[in-house]
A and B are shown apart, each in its own frame.
Chain A
Amino acid sequence: MLSKKAKLRIIFLTLLFLLTVSIIILVLQSLEKNLVYFFSPTEIYNRSDISLNKKIRVGGVVKKGSVKKEENNTTFIITDFKNEIIVSYDGSTPNLFSEEKGVVAEGKLRDKKYFLANKILAKHDENYMPPEVSDILKKSK
Chain B
Amino acid sequence: MLKKIFPNKILSLSNKVLTNLVILMSFIIFVGLIYALFLSPADYIQGDSVRIMYVHVPSSFIALGTFAVIGIASILNLIFKIKFFTLISKSLAPIGIIFTFISILTGSLWGKPTWGVWWAWDARLTSMFILLIFYAAYILVWKFIEDFDQANKMSSIIAILGLFNLPVIKYSVDWWNTLHQPSSITLTSAPSIHYTMLIPLIIMFLGLTIYALIIFLMRYKIEVMKFKLNKKRTNK
A residues engaging B (CB < 8 A)?
6, 9-10, 13, 20-21, 24, 28, 32, 35-40, 59, 94-96, 101, 104, 119-134
Judge whether B46 and A124 touch: CB under 8 Å: yes
* Complexed CA–CA distance, A94 and B120 (Å): 15
Judge whether B115 and A94 touch: CB under 8 Å: yes
B residues engaging A (CB < 8 A)?
41-46, 50, 53, 75, 78-80, 113-117, 120-123, 160-161, 164, 168, 175-179, 181-184, 192-194, 196-197
Give 10 pairs: A residue, B residue, CB < 8 Å, sorted on A.
Answer: A24-B164, A36-B176, A94-B115, A96-B113, A96-B116, A120-B116, A121-B116, A125-B181, A128-B43, A133-B194
- Residues of chain B within 8 A (CB-CB) of A121 are 115-117, 120, 179
Judge whether B184 and A127 touch: CB under 8 Å: yes
Judge whether B177 and A96 touch: CB under 8 Å: no
Residues A10 and B79 in contact in the complex (CB < 8 Å), given A59-B177, A121-B116, A121-B179: yes
Looking at the assembled complex, report how far the CB atom of A1 sits from the nearest CB atom of chain B, in whole angstroms. Answer: 11
* Complexed CA–CA distance, A85 and B114 (Å): 23
The residue on A at minimum CB distance from B112 is: A94
- Residues of chain A within 8 A (CB-CB) of B161 are 20
The residue on B at minimum CB distance from A43 is: B177
- Residues of chain B within 8 A (CB-CB) of A24 are 164, 168
Looking at the assembled complex, report how far the CB atom of A34 sits from the nearest CB atom of chain B, in whole angstroms. Answer: 10
Judge whether A128 and B194 touch: CB under 8 Å: yes
- Residues of chain B within 8 A (CB-CB) of A10 are 79
* Complexed CA–CA distance, A40 and B178 (Å): 11
* Complexed CA–CA distance, A129 and B192 (Å): 8
* Complexed CA–CA distance, A13 and B184 (Å): 35
- Residues of chain B within 8 A (CB-CB) of A38 are 177, 179
* Complexed CA–CA distance, A92 and B164 (Å): 41
Judge whether B79 and A96 touch: CB under 8 Å: no
- Residues of chain B within 8 A (CB-CB) of A125 are 181-182
